[in-house]
Amino acid sequence: MPVLNIIQAVNDALRLEMKRDDRVVVLGEDVGKFGGVFRATVGLYDEFGPNRVFDTPLAEAGIIATAIGMALYGLRPVPEIQFADFIYPAFDQIVNEAAKMRYRSGGQFTCPMVIRTPFGGGIKGGHYHSQSPEAYFVHTAGLKVIAPSNPYDAKGLLISAIRDENPVIFLEPKRVYRAARSEVPEGEYQIPIGEAKILSEGNDLTIVTYGAMVHTAMEAATRLKDEDNVTCEVIDLRTLMPYDLRTILGSVRKTGRAMIVHEAPRTCGFGAELSAAITERALLYLEGPVVRVTGFDTPFPYALENHYLPSVGRITTAARKLLNF
């Protein structure tokens, strides 16, 4: 079984789906001959040609509007937004058109499209190349939102997303694009959208996270076990909308403590929704408050990037405080 990184897994998923279904097309800035700024689409232009893999102007609203039209007329477009920070010019097209098409047409039309975009910090990109906008899209009825943390999940979830009848925001954690490596089966397979994965079993604390923060949380869990004899149950959400509340609640009812880790700003971040859901449904099982370890309510900094991002130290400090509540 080959060992791939996330970029290679995404590329493999796109290639397989384009071979399987000639309705799948890829579009975006520099995705053609150049193969994308992160090389996620390398080789696809040569294999499938300019009618199915093509470059667009630097106009995100136009990219998404074009993809919506393609989806309505029977294609399955996979537009790429080069960085999640640049998705905002297309916000109206995504939340008012793509997300609402099925509802406004009474189910007569679907809008099957997957918007791929790298998100999050960790590459010294500053405030225009490091944002985490997932909460905006989780808040939008009609969208599915996926955020894998590793190559195996990235491939299986992308295949599932391309085959889904709804518009999907597919957030790729660029900090671990090449750092995260794992065995990935050859050929096609699907991972169900909406199913979280428990990465480590534990009895003392539940840590809920996604994307690049999964790796930080796992490192923190190892440190807590080695230094404090504390076992953490780490849950990789994988899908943010719909999210797997059943798995979260099952874990929290076992451990009695919940921590949510994400690198987006704290106020109204996705952790706030998770915290509310846990508190509403598992309050009597909790032995302390639901804790959030997140980015700060500031623009993403350049020089202080490592301070802004949740770290192993911040997670372990918060965990010890919660355990001693």
Average pLDDT of the segment spanning 110-120:
98
Q: Mind listing the domains of the chain with CATH numbers?
A: 3-183 (3.40.50.970), 197-323 (3.40.50.920)
Q: What's the DSSP call for residue 34?
A: T
Are 144 and 196 within 8 A, CB to CB?
no
- Name the residue among 153, 147, 152 with its Cα closest to residue 174: 147
- Listed in sequence order, the residues at least 6 apart from 140 whose beta carbon sits closer than 8 Å to its beta carbon are 94, 95, 99
Task: Indicate left, alpha or beta for 303 from its phi (over 0: left) and psi (-120 to 50: alpha).
Answer: alpha
- Listed in sequence order, the residues at least 6 apart from 236 whose beta carbon sits closer than 8 Å to its beta carbon are 149, 153, 196, 197, 198, 199, 209, 210, 214
Catalytic residues: 129
Average pLDDT of the segment spanning 51-74:
98
144-189 tens-digit pLDDT: 999 999 999 999 999 999 999 999 999 999 999 999 999 999 999 9
Are 309 and 278 within 8 A, CB to CB?
no
Are 3 and 181 within 8 A, CB to CB?
yes
- CA torsion, ordered 245, 156, 29, 25, to nearest 10 deg: -120
pLDDT at site 163 = 98
pLDDT at site 88 = 98
pLDDT at site 11 = 98
Instruction: For residue 182, give the 3-state DSSP assignment.
Output: strand
192 vs 23: CA distance, rounded Å: 22
Average pLDDT of the segment spanning 233-245:
98
Average pLDDT of the segment spanning 301-309:
94
pLDDT at site 79 = 98
pLDDT at site 136 = 98
Instruction: Report the percent of the chain where pLDDT is more than 90.
Output: 100
CA distances from 28 to 2, 93, 141 (A): 28, 15, 25
280 vs 316: CA distance, rounded Å: 26
Are 275 and 194 within 8 A, CB to CB?
no
Average pLDDT of the segment spanning 202-212:
98
pLDDT at site 285 = 98
pLDDT at site 307 = 95
225 vs 323: CA distance, rounded Å: 13
pLDDT at site 202 = 97
pLDDT at site 304 = 94
pLDDT at site 215 = 98
Average pLDDT of the segment spanning 256-268:
98
CA distances from 155 to 34, 183, 210, 289 (A): 21, 11, 16, 36
Q: Taking the chain, what is the end-to-end CA distance rounded to the nearest angstrom?
A: 46
Average pLDDT of the segment spanning 181-208:
98
Split at pLDDT 50, 70, 90, the class of 243 is very high
CA–CA–CA angle 156, 242, 36 (5° rounding): 45
Output Rg (C-alpha) for the chain, integer angstroms.
19
- Residue 55 tokens, joined: 């470059």
Split at pLDDT 50, 70, 90, the class of 45 is very high
Average pLDDT of the segment spanning 244-257:
98
181 vs 151: CA distance, rounded Å: 6
CA–CA–CA angle 98, 177, 134 (5° rounding): 35
